[in-house]
Structure 1
Amino acid sequence: MFATLAVDSLDAIAFGPAPGGTVPPAAAPHDRWLRAVALGGQGRYAAARTELAVLRRSRAGAVLDSLVASTEASLLRQLGWHRLASAHDGRALAVLGDSQAPGARAARCDAVTGLAADALGCGRLDLGFRLLERCAELLGDASPDLWRQRIRLHWVTAEMSLASGDAVQGLVNARRALELADGSPSVRHQVKSELLVAAAVSAGPDPAAAVDPALRVLARCDEHDLVPLRWAASMLLCGVAPAPRFQEVRQRAEASVVAAGGRFRES
């Protein structure tokens, strides 16, 4: 179903089995975007934004322009800047217009799902659910090439369900995302999906049951140097099983993010 990726390739780091690999330089526009995604997954925010800035100036076409804007939004959203992210996701959708170019449907789904996640972060749940419905319509009977978009749809649906108090649907969608991710080449998507499963379990009748899956996530984050997900997993653990060791992990992860150019939005 999926092509085998060389472990030192940009594809393998951005969307494959080696998310913690050394990110090679890139010159071609699409490779620069993969490089930005790979750097962002490792929490190297300043370096990722530098690649995106180069791409914005290059005007490499509507599809890549959209992916660049969606990626910029994702970096902001990871740090809590949902309102700012929505402007980039809006641009990601607008720049596509009615394009039917190769990759346009995938980019359009990325933008709409991003807007739904932004709406969630701004407390606009009704809008978020409407956007998720739109993304589901865009995907339809999606081809295997859109595996990433389908996983993201279940991620945000799980998050929206949890935010609306529906832990059951949150867990259903988180588990579906994990099932899809486990059949994909992306370790990063697998790890985030398991983190969402842990978050959904923590919202159920036995929050302590989230500890084991969260610890598995933490171990995989350490293995693959996934700093943003390490921070998120440590935050979850601090909530369900407060302990000094989890506080230390959170503090180290936060320090790594800040040192690499990330700035958390204070709540």
Structure 2
Amino acid sequence: MTLENHLRRIAFGDPGESTATPDHRIAGTASGARTDRECWLAAVVLGARGRYAAATTLLRRLRHSRDVVIASLAASTIASHRRQLGGHAAALPADGAALAAVAGLPLVPAAGESVAGVDADSADRNAADGDAAGRNTAGRNAVAGQGPATGTDAVGIAADADGVDVAGAWADALLGLAADQLALGRPALARRLVGEVTAGLDAAFGNGGGSVRSRVRAAWVGAEAALAGGDPATAVASAEAALHLLRSGSRATPVRHRAKTELVLAAALLAAGSDPARAAELVASALTVIDAHGFASLSWPARLLAAETDPAGADEHRRRATREVHALLPRVDPELRRLAVESPWVPV
């Protein structure tokens, strides 16, 4: 197995991969990354386990990669780490840069071309206007080049399974911008951006097509936007759709995405007041996965949610969430540490 595929399995796929590999061995595997693609996957692996400083070291260099897909994904990942520690406003510039990096590129490659990276010189020619953030990019990206594949025309055209391609990078950037808008009190704009992603992927790959990771992330942000807009029923439906998509896929379920989906669905169910017992079960299931795999980035938010689903143990869940944040801080770079300390949402 290549190092890239091994890192993919740790980052996204095989449920047994990271439980069978201790945290220090995972860090050692990540340290062997050499290509830009391997380094980005290593940063994803490290960030998921709360090793933010190590991840940031890789990501800052990757923002200048000649592979614009990796440059875009690196910027999106930096933004994601900032959001995870309460820095939504600080994430906006990185998300904008991520979108600009792939502006004007076709979501579907021309026949014979790779779905993977695009050289920076080619990207510059395709995106001469440069500043894409804030424009309606779904249609423009889908119709660039040879145009979108839609409906039955999409048969045989596949996105990278993990979204490590132009379409995945574009979706990550727009969904990151949508998540930023939620924290800034703009749920309507967030919903519009999620709609752009869904429409763009449908136009490029057919209804429901594209990578599962992109579709699941769109469902998360859609659910969060619905909650912010006072529509918990829509939030529940969106999160349920994400969970169904993960369970029905032909590949191994990405365990981190499943755990987060369970947390999003639990929060939606609590807001809807419809099934508190199921919400508690979902949080417990997510925590089992989080603890087994060492997903420190999800652990403390899950404990805070557990305080809502388990009132009898609420104080202990909150105390543990605070302890876990304090355990994270020594592995966080100075900028992220400042964002965490200043955030009203992070229990420091």
Same fold (TM over 0.5): yes
How far apart, in 1, do the equivalents of 2:309 and 2:230 lie? 17
Q: 1:258, CA displacement in angstroms?
A: 1.2
The 1:216–1:5 alpha-carbon spacing in structure 2 relative to 1, beyond 3 Å, is farther
The residue number in structure 1 matching 2:186 is 124
Q: Which moved more, 1:137-146 or 1:154-163?
A: 137-146
Choose 1 or 2 for highest CA Rg.
2
The residue number in structure 1 matching 2:76 is 70
Out of 38, 42, 45, the residue aligned to residue 45 of structure 2 is 38
The residue number in structure 1 matching 2:291 is 222
The residue number in structure 2 matching 1:201 is 269
The residue number in structure 1 matching 2:215 is 150
The residue number in structure 2 matching 1:12 is 9
Secondary structure of 1:9 counterpart? helix
- 8 Å contact kept, 2:63–2:71: yes
How far apart, in 1, do the equivalents of 2:4 and 2:67 lie? 28
Residue 237, structure 1, aligned to residue 306, structure 2: yes
Q: Which moved more, 1:236-245 or 1:212-221?
A: 236-245
- 8 Å contact kept, 1:211–1:237: yes
How far apart, in 1, do the equivalents of 2:100 and 2:178 lie? 15
- 8 Å contact kept, 1:207–1:240: no
Length-normalised TM-score, structure 1: 0.91
How far apart, in 1, do the equivalents of 2:173 and 2:229 lie? 22
Out of 258, 262, 265, the residue aligned to residue 329 of structure 2 is 258
How far apart, in 1, do the equivalents of 2:226 and 2:77 lie? 24
How far apart, in 2, do the equivalents of 1:221 and 1:168 lie? 26
Length-normalised TM-score, structure 2: 0.71
The 1:6–1:63 alpha-carbon spacing in structure 2 relative to 1, beyond 3 Å, is closer
* Counterpart AA for 2:343: E
How far apart, in 2, do the equivalents of 1:32 and 1:257 lie? 22
The residue number in structure 2 matching 1:164 is 229
How far apart, in 2, do the equivalents of 1:223 and 1:158 lie? 26
RMSD: 2.2
Q: 1:197, CA displacement in angstroms?
A: 1.2
Q: 1:51, CA displacement in angstroms?
A: 0.9
Q: 1:260, CA displacement in angstroms?
A: 1.6
Q: 1:259, CA displacement in angstroms?
A: 2.2
- Count of aligned pairs between the two proteins: 263
Q: 1:147, CA displacement in angstroms?
A: 1.0
Q: 1:47, CA displacement in angstroms?
A: 0.8
How far apart, in 1, do the equivalents of 2:240 and 2:274 lie? 17
Residue 178, structure 1, aligned to residue 247, structure 2: no
How far apart, in 2, do the equivalents of 1:75 and 1:19 lie? 20
Secondary structure of 1:43 counterpart? coil
The 1:153–1:14 alpha-carbon spacing in structure 2 relative to 1, beyond 3 Å, is same
Q: Which moved more, 1:156-165 or 1:253-262?
A: 253-262
